[in-house]
A and B are shown apart, each in its own frame.
Chain A
Amino acid sequence: MILPALFFYLFAGVCVASAAMVISSRNPVHSVLFLILAFVNAAGLFILLGAEFIAMILIVVYVGAVAVLFLFVIMMLDVDFAELREGFLEYLPFGLVIAAIFLLELLLVVGGWTLNPTVTKSITAAIPGDVSNTEALGLVLYTKYIHYFQLAGMVLLVAMIGAIVLTLRHRASVKRQDINVQNARTPEMAMGVRQVASGQGLQDADSAEWVK
């Protein structure tokens, strides 16, 4: 019983500490690396809960794709983060006041906490040993929740169309590769054999054609 608790505090502690480092570190690249650490620890917490599928998804999607994308963006954009953070201290008192109000409100809510009895039952229910997470999800995702699944697919389709609409441009001035033209090239199109009279060289027009 002591071991899971120990691991819980290990993961939770590192998660919170690295989350704090994400917002306080000076170097944005370090921030992203700490973000990855936070994600990995959150995945550890999910494994402790018995939700191994979500844990793996968190690693694959967030660490493998999202965080790496962040890294790319941060390295490619020339954003002066130090400048962005300049007003941080100025706004800190105001921010702390708002945070305190939120904390107070949350405490009020927790004070009046009455959970639905069925919820606690379902949370503390033992995880069935004969069916794995992935299998359990698969059993409902394509049957009971097929409509949600299809709609989510349509949301992704819209995201894809949107990305293409907003970023794809065909510029006439840019040379593009055309495989068919490349494959159809014959030696006659690519090469020209000239008789060059000694001491005269090629004409200008000829040399221009060569360059092409």
Chain B
Amino acid sequence: MMFEAAGYQLLPVLPEIVLAVGAMVLLLIGAWCGQRAAGLVTGLAICFLIGTGVIEYLLPHGRLMTFGGSFIVDEFARFLKILALLGSAATLVLSREFLEDQSRRMFEFAILVMLSTVGMMVLISAADLIMLYLGLELMSLALYVVAASNRDNVKSTEAGLKYFVLGALASGMLLYGASLIYGFTGTVSFAGIAAAAKTGSIGVVFGLVFLLAGLCFKVSVVPFHMWTPDVYEGAPTPVTAFFASAPKIAAMAVFTRVVLTAFSGVVAEWQQIVVFVAIASMALGSFGAIGQRNIKRLMAYSSIGHMGFALVGLAAGTVEGAQGVVLYLVIYTVMTFGAFTVILAMSRNGQALEQISDFAGLSRTNPLLAFFFAMLLFSLAGIPPLAGFFAKFYVFSAAIKAGLFALSVIGVITSVVGAFYYLNVIKMMYFDEQAEATDAVHIELRSVVAATALFNMLFFVYPGPLVSAATAAAKSLF
């Protein structure tokens, strides 16, 4: 109670505490019962993730600060935390079938996802550099392990190792930047940095560059994208779906919060970095994907490109821009989740199919799956009236309002180039010679595919609630 008086209320961190304690309880259950409990632990983990989302929603509205101002819960944090929690829960739903296989059965998977989600929530709510770093490490460390979780597979272990080594390098750069910023501003809190860094002193900008380099690695944008295709290809498919969703949300959220709150005084300095990174990612995402044969590698390039599009909104540095980023994250998460679920659902005689050519003639063997996948791909390409179009519309209109014409034009051009490889897959499914029939799809996967595809198709009918929630989230940052 002494703590509460000193600005250390526990209510704002209640969701994190519930999730962390839940993960530890499940760890004990798993350690006690062994791998038999894998199904039970995964089920309970899904309940915990959803329950935590409900608690987050029920927290008192408005801005809550705790731990001496190092932890903040505002509309922005609340919205993106719930999204990240849903992403993690959906990952576990997808992985249930994957983990049923005897050789892969491991209850630790669910626990690692939960602890990683705690890291994401801390990251989204971070209001100083130490909290940011701890959240980032907690999130990433668990991700390195799940990337290598299929440990008898050479590609999976390679993915884990590569991700770990490069991630450690990125953390090093981030820490170096953070120490420079601390040295030049004398504080680690975002509010303090904003007050101290009103003019762009070269030291602060130097630190900012390194800090952003570390964050760019986590969002996987050019020039820190090298790990993405290999890790996406090597990691088990449910893990790849996870990588493409929740951690991206958290990293993008903290990226947005850092530049918009801590560095609001040096907009011109970070704006040029973000513009360059956005252009490079959109271009590489579009051109790099053309030559790919493996669908997971293709999705990796697609994710690089999409993060570039999201950064276009951030480059604007306005409320509309931040709103565009939030909306982009929601829609991108849903689209990419749907696409990965389709990839997960593709198997023939129990063997997972990952080549793009395996999709040939899917419209005849499994018309409904092919239709939903086509809708998701159209949406990823940004074709109206699907949700993906609106995501791009919001970020580009924010960029144009902020006067970033060149950036918007390049963005639209790369988006057209990018449409080629999505349409190529659709062409394969509908017009190419039929391959052998694929296995029947599990009911959980079918429902996830249907839900995500319908969301994409029907978003334009009633976008109101989502858009207003995103606006409220964006406004809370300014």
Co-assembled chains A and B = yes
* A interface list, Cβ under 8 A from B: 108-109, 112-116, 118-119, 122, 143-144, 146-148, 151-152, 154-155, 157-159, 161-162, 164-166
A-B contact count (CB 8 A): 81
Q: Measured between C-beta atoms, what is the minimum distance from B234 to chain A in Å?
A: 14
| Bound complex: CA A115 to CA B185 (Å) | 8
Q: Measured between C-beta atoms, what is the minimum distance from A133 to chain B in Å?
A: 19
Residues of chain B within 8 A (CB-CB) of A119 are 183-184, 186
Across the interface, A161 reaches (CB within 8 A) one of B131, B145, B201, namely B145
Across the interface, A151 reaches (CB within 8 A) one of B24, B122, B185, B202, namely B122
- Extra contacts, 12 of them, besides A114-B203, A165-B108, A166-B148 (Cβ < 8 A), are A112-B203, A146-B8, A147-B70, A157-B24, A158-B116, A158-B141, A162-B142, A164-B108, A165-B106, A165-B112, A166-B149, A166-B160
Closest to B160 in A: A166
The answer to whether A159 touches B141, judged by C-beta atoms less than 8 angstroms apart, is yes
| Bound complex: CA A122 to CA B182 (Å) | 13
Closest to B202 in A: A112
| Bound complex: CA A112 to CA B106 (Å) | 54
Is B130 in the interface zone, CB < 8 Å from A?
A: yes
| Bound complex: CA A108 to CA B118 (Å) | 40
The answer to whether A165 touches B186, judged by C-beta atoms less than 8 angstroms apart, is no
Is B404 in the interface zone, CB < 8 Å from A?
A: no
- The 0/1 profile, CB within 8 Å of A marked 1, for residues 193-229 of chain B is 0001000011100100000000000000000000000
Residues of chain A within 8 A (CB-CB) of B116 are 158
Residues of chain B within 8 A (CB-CB) of A158 are 112, 115-116, 138, 141-142, 145
Known: A114-B203, A162-B144. A151 touches B112 (CB 8 A): no
For the complex of A and B, the 3 pairs showing the least CB-CB separation, nearest first, are A162-B145, A116-B186, A112-B202
| Bound complex: CA A144 to CA B341 (Å) | 44
Is B72 in the interface zone, CB < 8 Å from A?
A: no
Residues of chain B within 8 A (CB-CB) of A146 are 8
The answer to whether B202 touches A144, judged by C-beta atoms less than 8 angstroms apart, is no
Closest to B136 in A: A155
Known: A114-B203, A119-B183, A119-B186. A147 touches B67 (CB 8 A): yes
Is B151 in the interface zone, CB < 8 Å from A?
A: yes
Residues of chain A within 8 A (CB-CB) of B68 are 144
Residues of chain B within 8 A (CB-CB) of A113 are 203
Is B299 in the interface zone, CB < 8 Å from A?
A: no
| Bound complex: CA A113 to CA B202 (Å) | 8
The answer to whether A108 touches B202, judged by C-beta atoms less than 8 angstroms apart, is yes
Task: Name, among A158, A159, A164, the residue most crowded by chain B CB atoms within 10 Å (CB to CB).
Answer: A158
Interface secondary structure of B, over-half rule: helix
Q: Could you write out 12 A-B pairs with CB less than 8 Å apart? A: A108-B202, A116-B196, A143-B3, A146-B8, A147-B70, A147-B71, A151-B122, A162-B112, A162-B142, A164-B108, A166-B148, A166-B160
Across the interface, B202 reaches (CB within 8 A) one of A109, A147, A154, namely A109
The answer to whether A112 touches B201, judged by C-beta atoms less than 8 angstroms apart, is yes
Is B135 in the interface zone, CB < 8 Å from A?
A: yes
Interface secondary structure of A, over-half rule: helix
Is B20 in the interface zone, CB < 8 Å from A?
A: yes
| Bound complex: CA A33 to CA B8 (Å) | 46
The answer to whether A151 touches B184, judged by C-beta atoms less than 8 angstroms apart, is no
Is B230 in the interface zone, CB < 8 Å from A?
A: no
The answer to whether B183 touches A115, judged by C-beta atoms less than 8 angstroms apart, is yes
Task: Name, among B3, B13, B135, B138, the residue most crowded by chain A CB atoms within 10 Å (CB to CB).
Answer: B138
The answer to whether B203 touches A109, judged by C-beta atoms less than 8 angstroms apart, is yes
Is B353 in the interface zone, CB < 8 Å from A?
A: no
Q: Measured between C-beta atoms, what is the minimum distance from A141 to chain B in Å?
A: 13
For chain B, the count of residues having a C-beta within 8 Å of the partner chain is 42
Task: Name, among B24, B142, B160, the residue most crowded by chain A CB atoms within 10 Å (CB to CB).
Answer: B142
Residues of chain A within 8 A (CB-CB) of B141 are 155, 158-159, 162
The answer to whether B134 touches A152, judged by C-beta atoms less than 8 angstroms apart, is yes
The answer to whether B112 touches A155, judged by C-beta atoms less than 8 angstroms apart, is no
The answer to whether A151 touches B145, judged by C-beta atoms less than 8 angstroms apart, is no
Q: Measured between C-beta atoms, what is the minimum distance from A172 to chain B in Å?
A: 13
- The 0/1 profile, CB within 8 Å of A marked 1, for residues 143-156 of chain B is 01100110100000
Is B45 in the interface zone, CB < 8 Å from A?
A: no
Residues of chain B within 8 A (CB-CB) of A112 are 201-203
Task: Name, among B3, B13, B149, B203, the residue most crowded by chain A CB atoms within 10 Å (CB to CB).
Answer: B203
| Bound complex: CA A151 to CA B16 (Å) | 11
Residues of chain B within 8 A (CB-CB) of A157 are 24, 115
- The 0/1 profile, CB within 8 Å of A marked 1, for residues 77-111 of chain B is 00000000000000000000000000000101001
Is B27 in the interface zone, CB < 8 Å from A?
A: yes
Residues of chain B within 8 A (CB-CB) of A151 are 122, 131, 134-135, 138
| Bound complex: CA A118 to CA B186 (Å) | 7
Residues of chain A within 8 A (CB-CB) of B354 are none
| Bound complex: CA A166 to CA B108 (Å) | 10
Closest to B24 in A: A157
Is B158 in the interface zone, CB < 8 Å from A?
A: no
Residues of chain B within 8 A (CB-CB) of A148 are 130-131, 134
Known: A115-B184, A154-B118. A165 touches B145 (CB 8 A): yes
Is B137 in the interface zone, CB < 8 Å from A?
A: yes
Q: Measured between C-beta atoms, what is the minimum distance from A93 to chain B in Å?
A: 23
Q: Measured between C-beta atoms, what is the minimum distance from A91 to chain B in Å?
A: 18
| Bound complex: CA A84 to CA B360 (Å) | 45
Residues of chain A within 8 A (CB-CB) of B203 are 109, 112-114
Residues of chain A within 8 A (CB-CB) of B206 are 109
Known: A109-B202, A162-B144. A116 touches B151 (CB 8 A): no
Residues of chain A within 8 A (CB-CB) of B142 are 158, 162
Q: Measured between C-beta atoms, what is the minimum distance from B235 to chain A in Å?
A: 13
The answer to whether A155 touches B184, judged by C-beta atoms less than 8 angstroms apart, is no
Residues of chain B within 8 A (CB-CB) of A165 are 106, 108, 112, 145, 149, 151
Residues of chain A within 8 A (CB-CB) of B122 are 151
Closest to B185 in A: A116
Residues of chain B within 8 A (CB-CB) of A118 are 186
| Bound complex: CA A164 to CA B8 (Å) | 35
Task: Name, among A112, A114, A115, A116, the residue most crowded by chain B CB atoms within 10 Å (CB to CB).
Answer: A116
Q: Measured between C-beta atoms, what is the minimum distance from A189 to chain B in Å?
A: 28
Closest to B20 in A: A154
Tell me the residues in window 334-385 of chain B with beta carbons closer than 8 Å to chain A beta carbons: none
